[in-house]
Structure 1
Amino acid sequence: MTLTSAAPVRGLDPIEFDRLRAEVAEFVSGEGERWADRIEATGEVPEQLWTELRDRGFLALAAPVSHGGRGLSFPQWMDLMELFSRSHGSLRMIVHVVNGTWRAMDAFATEEQRRRFVLPSIAGALKVAFTLTEPAAGSGADIRSTVTRDGDHYLLTGTKHMITFGVRCDYWLVTARLAGSSGHEGTVALMVPRDAEGVTVEDTSDTLGVTGTDHARLTFDRAPVPVANRLGEEGQGLAVALGGFLTPSRISVAMSCVGLAVRAQELALDYARGRTTFGKPLTSRQAIGFMLAENEAEIEAARQLVKHAARQWEDGDPAAPKLSSMAKLIAVDMLGRVTDRALQVHGGSGYWKSSPIERVYRDARAQRFEEGTNEAQKSIVLRELLGRAEGVR
């Protein structure tokens, strides 16, 4: 059978999708919470969680049926991402990353590369870590990691950090540039084996929130990478990273903000209904009620922007990159306000680790950095805005 790059899909029929959505919701509120307790108690994500998510088919939801996936449309996948995001941050991170990295690879893969990397990743047989961010540069055209050609290998030199699953992965999907190049010109995307020579891996998993998701700092010292592991052509490295992964991933992160905000709102509402002061529940206090009302309005507004961005990306709208940054910017700011109000509703009791809102509050802060800071998103939106204005003149 000849494999080709995945074509856009329109997803499951509504009845089948409703069944799947109910299955995910049941898992998140039941087994997902038990996994959350275990992760928080141990500080680690056990391999058994990866196995369970794979066996349930949750790591292949967004991939097309032709590639062994469930064939969800992107808006359907975002509906499920909202549900997964109500669970532990590390659980959400696993399904988010695995259901996204295949896109970056698939769009540029040869048939052989699709067999070696894409299909095993979708099947859960390979873990691939997306590797772009550097400690001394932004996450774009100013990357400094370089490669030089040496026969049928590239020699990779540089440093990457804050790499999710960078410790336990099988391959790093690394974006670097040909030595001497600048800007987008000369960038390359390489599948670097985890056991490659000349690589130092430092575990940097001790984070404020999203406990247990291993993060790594990677140092490459003339690490040899086969030219056959290059995705696309020389000069297409950032196209692999930005178009193939970051645009839909930013939409996904925006929806994860919505899902976590919904969880914070649920916890705040339950607490306010059950907590009594001076003989009345907190929900009878106007100050508390207004907080909950503001939360509800902001969550729905962000949800609708994210859904719009998801539809436009699937339809190939050229404005999708701008919309993805807008959605991520709005959703992450919303999440900060909602979780802050939710913690305030709990009063002092919410500050203790025995309270579920405490974990949600910590996990929420990580979203400000994932797939680019708010400042990075504003720069993207401004660039598009100015470009449109110049085009009108």
Structure 2
Amino acid sequence: MSVTEIAPRSRAALDPAAFDRLRAEVARYVSGPAEEWADRIESSGSVPDELWTELRERGYLSLAAPREYGGRGLSFPQWMELVELFSRSHGSLRMIVHVVNGTWRAMDAFADPEQRERFVLPSIAGRIKVAFTLTEPHAGSGADIRSSVVREGDTYYLTGAKHLITFGVRCDYWLLAARVAGSTGHEGTVALMVPRDAAGVTVEDTSQTMGVVGTDHARLTFDRTPVPVANRLGAEGDGLAVALGGFLTPSRISVAMSCVGLASRAQELALEYARRRVTFGKPLTSRQSVQFMLAENEADIEASRRLTLHAARRWEAGDRDAAKLSSMAKLTAVDMLGRVTDKSLQVHGGSGFWKSSPIERVYRDARAQRFEEGTNEIQKTVVFRELLSRPEDVR
């Protein structure tokens, strides 16, 4: 089978024994080398290029892609199990692995053979970096986008602004959603591969964040930036399909699982601290209030894990309720993460407030999930929209 014939939701999976070995390898990496990278990132405030190189050489940037594309051929639920592990590490490391293993999918579903060779396969191989570029400073993240293009011959001229763009500074291409000037709603939206060095672009580094330190974010301004029509993925009108169905739906499931992974790390740190911390001659684990907090955490984490894996299976199967389940998983997991990290920090008492405590970084990083791939308010809107569109006879 040629690479042009691969379905965007291949159901192939790594055989169980091989997957168990891969999962164990990733677990060792996360608890060992990744922690060293975390210390380096936190102290410097940036992600070294060497980390990108290491992740590429280990094959961690192509885990979710089909074997025919140079990937490992994981099923989507298998990929989610690895996302959970990576998410126990530093937020920026998780972000790299998560985004690179997701943007190829959005491109591939709409790419023609020439575009697959130019964009998809090099992204999977780690030869180019692609930044997903949807959010705007003066609009939401959907059909109300304002960035627009005017076509003149074989060139689009792009005008508008984007912000909160992950890897927007150091990327090679922006995978950008805009609309044909004068169009409204979903109709007329386009998805473009905009070169990082295109004319008429102003890039502002906005990387000073509360958590997920080191992941570069950008605010972008386009002033009649020329983009070849050959860089358009799909047809005019497909822009939001590329952005929402191709990237955001599976990515929201990934973010939900990243919440599960980070919450598991917080729970682990809280349990370790409670076991060794002694007050009035007894460890904290003997205090019923602490026992209850940790028990509630455990139930919360497992419930989110199961819902997220269910959403992953339904998305891979192409079920019509995948978008709803994706948003349900994300909003549930985000709320869970907030509760778990808050209780885990509380178990640490005052000592958890200092940067010398690992729980401090986890607590800061957790806040980013609340808006990554859309706030909970957006997720609730998606869920209700899908609920309302369901035929009455199946309600």
Instruction: Output the TM-score relative to the length of structure 1.
Output: 0.99
Q: What's 1:13 paired with? A: 15
Kept in 2, the 8 Å contact 1:5–1:106? The answer is no
SS of 1:4's equivalent?
helix
Q: CA deviation at 1:390?
A: 4.8
* Counterpart selection for 1:383 from 364, 385, 390: 385
Q: CA deviation at 1:361?
A: 0.1
- In 2, the alpha carbon distance for the partners of 1:130 and 1:346 equals 37
Q: CA deviation at 1:388?
A: 1.8
Q: Aligned pair in 2 of structure 1 residues 261, 216: CA closer, same or farther (>3 Å)?
A: same
- In 1, the alpha carbon distance for the partners of 2:266 and 2:294 equals 10
- In 2, the alpha carbon distance for the partners of 1:269 and 1:262 equals 10
Q: CA deviation at 1:392?
A: 5.7
SS of 2:12's equivalent?
coil
Q: CA deviation at 1:384?
A: 1.2
Mapping 1:220-299, distance limit 5 Å: 220-299=222-301
- In 2, the alpha carbon distance for the partners of 1:176 and 1:69 equals 30
| Contiguous gaps of at least 5 residues in structure 2 | none
Q: What's 2:170 paired with? A: 168
Query: Is residue 128 of structure 2 the alignment partner of residue 153 of structure 1?
Result: no
Q: What's 2:102 paired with? A: 100
- In 2, the alpha carbon distance for the partners of 1:149 and 1:74 equals 37
Paired amino acid for 2:318:
G
- In 2, the alpha carbon distance for the partners of 1:299 and 1:24 equals 20
Deviations 1:76-125 (A, max 9, x none): 00000000000000000000000000000000001000000000000000
- In 2, the alpha carbon distance for the partners of 1:5 and 1:130 equals 24
Q: What's 1:366 paired with? A: 368
SS of 2:162's equivalent?
strand
Q: What's 1:327 paired with? A: 329
Paired amino acid for 2:265:
R
Mapping 1:304-315, distance limit 5 Å: 304-315=306-317
The count of corresponding residues between Structure 1 and Structure 2 is: 393
Kept in 1, the 8 Å contact 2:2–2:68? The answer is no
- In 1, the alpha carbon distance for the partners of 2:318 and 2:5 equals 15
- In 2, the alpha carbon distance for the partners of 1:363 and 1:114 equals 34
Q: CA deviation at 1:391?
A: 6.2
Calculate percent identity across the aligned residue pairs. Answer: 80
Q: What's 2:124 paired with? A: 122
| Contiguous gaps of at least 5 residues in structure 1 | none
- RMSD between superposed Cα atoms in Å: 1.0
Kept in 2, the 8 Å contact 1:128–1:173? The answer is yes
Q: What's 1:356 paired with? A: 358
Q: What's 1:72 paired with? A: 74
Paired amino acid for 1:215:
H
- In 1, the alpha carbon distance for the partners of 2:229 and 2:72 equals 32
